[in-house]
A and B are shown apart, each in its own frame.
Chain A
């Protein structure tokens, strides 16, 4: 019996009533998110990388839902998976020439990145498990939906429960100023992106001149042709009626 099958058999032997379904779905989404994130690194084809990134970010949105952050999860799906990745896929499509689809890095770089990544991961895991409060299982306090408090805090009014011992609700700052900064930032960035990525006009004044000199007669001729066909059609119609 292969190890994988025996693991599956052991897991299947768990009594169904003992399974914590929140944990089950956490394990499912966490495995999907981590697996596809590693697949993004391992893949060479940039189109496949984009697909794996979509799946990884979607699974992360599932993790957000499981943590009770349903508004952030929905925004993750709409902005990341729906917006940013469409942008990325357009970039892939616009630059998808045959030699560029899969540019391979050197093997030495890969080994080095693997060693550094493993070391960094070890440090981060050690840090994640070093604080006792973070390791204790969740008490499972079900919170109210957070969409209304988030929306109110973005216009500068806090309606969520103040923490015990903290400042009272009226004194706590909202997020009106960061919200304005981010919105202006987004506007400027999109204008700048459109300016950077615009189609360059060829600097050939001669061609523009020729086009300008040719255009009016062609337009006039076209109008005349349309007028002629109209009058012809009209005469045919009236002829048919009479």
Chain B
């Protein structure tokens, strides 16, 4: 435990004094993405699965914005520029559309089956 703390302190110190890089943003995006995947896999509530999808799309957006940002690039390397930001905007819009449709389907399922448990949605089982 103490060895871990000793390893963490310089890391945290360098994190606070050094400028951040694109890789830092990629780490955040990876954590959000994996959380979303786990959320989609674990949750049995249909709305929980929806929230997992939102987290996955958000993790992808973090990566797009990090690669698009001129501020985060190292000396001499080029960013995506506004292309990355525009794609992030499209992702946000499509996520909104997807949430609307998925929510409508969930409400319809709830009206017909009186539950939002995705394990009960097995009417089409062959």
Contact = CB atoms under 8 A, between A and B. Distances in A.
B97 A185 contact: yes
Contacts of B31: 33-34, 37-38, 121
Contact of B69 (A19, A69, A137, A160): A69
* Size class of the A contact interface (CB-based, 8 Å): 35 or more
Interface residues of B, number: 88
Interface in A90-105: 90-92, 94-95, 100, 103-105
A72 to B, nearest CB: 5
A233 interface: no
Tell me if B's interface is mostly helix, strand, loop or mixed. Answer: helix
Interface string B1-35: 11011001100110111111111111110111111
A182 B66 CA distance: 23
B121 interface: no
Contacts of B82: 146, 149-150, 153, 160
Contacts of A103: 43-45, 116-117
B68 A196 contact: no
A192 B38 CA distance: 29
Contacts of B70: 68, 141, 143
Interface in A105-160: 105, 109-110, 112-114, 116-117, 120-121, 124-125, 127-129, 131, 133-143, 146, 149-150, 153-154, 160
